Amino acid sequence: MTGLLYEQVRRVTPEASVLLQRNPGPMTLDGTNTWLLRAPGEGTAIVVDPGETDDEHQAALVGTADSIALVLVTHRHRDHSEAAPALHDATGAPVRALDPEHCRGAGPLVNGELIDAGGLRTRVLATPGHTSDSVCFVLESAEGVPTAILTGDTILGRGTTVVAHPDGALGPYLASLRTLHALGALAVLPGHGPDLPSLAVVTEEYLAHREERLRQIRDALVRMGPDATARQIVEDVYADVDESVWWAAELSVRAQLDYLRG
Ligand SMILES: [Zn+2]
């Protein structure tokens, strides 16, 4: 049994391994990626996004990491953060997030902060937009050169993310995408879906996608009139998207309407 659990862990870079939670769905894609970070040869690990409450996932995490130094949370959504308090209770590892409500045994993250744990240099980068409390974690070499980035739901391994209005907002999201684009061709370790080779490439695609959606919504408002509802716009503009996620598309449309009207 234990052997099976260990096999779920996949090494992606020398410092980062992923444990896929078995919670697949339209919003979680294959499931939540829980990341384990540690320098080669280092005993203690950082856990990023322990996922939703799930005894089996937690047992696999605790078994794999030997010792957990710190738990980090990319943002407040349940599929990333829910299991953090139980993991704190089980291991004593402090939990840190941007939102103080999601912290346990330590203070909130600070934008630009350098975290020293797991034998790694991990830089906190605030990237509001998907939610107001979204952060990315940049792994740096000993010389301070960025090598990889954990993006939570700000960048996904497949498809595009939802701007979760009203907590999320499009203006900050576009600014975050531009900040990320400036970091260059880092390996992307997302909260859902496969890892990607280049942050520069995927952020360019995301920015182009956002521009295209904004253009479509402007066009829809011209056709349907300025009083068109978010739902009517989803039915028109997001006709290519599976109906099971229209509720999420509606949040993105509300965020885009706010942006266009603001
Ligand atoms: Zn999320």
Distance CA 156, CA 201 (A): 13
Q: What is the pLDDT of residue 26?
A: 86
CA of 168 to the centre of ligand 1 (A): 10
Contact call for residues 42 and 32 (beta carbons, < 8 A): no
Q: What is the pLDDT of residue 1?
A: 39
Mean pLDDT, residues 118-141 taken together: 98
The strand pairing partners of 46, in sequence order, are: 37, 70
Q: What is the pLDDT of residue 262?
A: 83
CA of 167 to the centre of ligand 1 (A): 11
Select the more confidently predicted residue: 27 or 38.
38
Q: Is the pLDDT of residue 3 over 60?
A: no
Q: Is the pLDDT of residue 70 over 80?
A: yes
- Give 4's pLDDT tier (boundaries 50, 70, 90): very low
CA of 29 to the centre of ligand 1 (A): 12
Contact call for residues 73 and 34 (beta carbons, < 8 A): no
If you average pLDDT over every residue of the chain, what do you get?
94
3-state SS class at 82: coil
Mean pLDDT, residues 212-235 taken together: 94
CA of 105 to the centre of ligand 1 (A): 23
CA of 148 to the centre of ligand 1 (A): 20
**How far is CA 139 from its chain centroid?**
15
Q: Is the pLDDT of residue 2 over 70?
A: no
- Give 66's pLDDT tier (boundaries 50, 70, 90): confident
User: What is the model's pTM?
Assistant: 0.94
- Give 5's pLDDT tier (boundaries 50, 70, 90): very low
Mean pLDDT, residues 48-76 taken together: 94
CA of 196 to the centre of ligand 1 (A): 18
Mean pLDDT, residues 188-217 taken together: 97
CA of 75 to the centre of ligand 1 (A): 7
Give one word for 83, left, alpha or beta, with left for phi > 0 and alpha for psi -120 to 50: alpha
Closest CA to 40 of 16, 68, 69, 63: 16
pLDDT over 70, % of the chain: 97
CA of 202 to the centre of ligand 1 (A): 18
Q: Is the pLDDT of residue 241 over 70?
A: yes
Q: What is the pLDDT of residue 180?
A: 98
Contact call for residues 64 and 12 (beta carbons, < 8 A): no
- Give 6's pLDDT tier (boundaries 50, 70, 90): very low
pLDDT digits (tens, 9 = 90+) for 167-190: 999 999 999 999 999 999 999 999
How far from 210 is each of 75, 203, 215, 252, CA to CA, in Å? 21, 10, 9, 10
Which range is least confidently modeled, 6-20, 69-83, 87-101, 243-257? 6-20
Tokens matching residue 194: 């496969």
Distance CA 51, CA 78 (A): 7
Sign of the torsion formed by the C-alpha atoms of 19, 7, 140 and 62: positive
Mean pLDDT, residues 120-124 taken together: 98
CA of 169 to the centre of ligand 1 (A): 13
Contact call for residues 206 and 160 (beta carbons, < 8 A): yes
Residue type, 227: D
CA of 121 to the centre of ligand 1 (A): 25
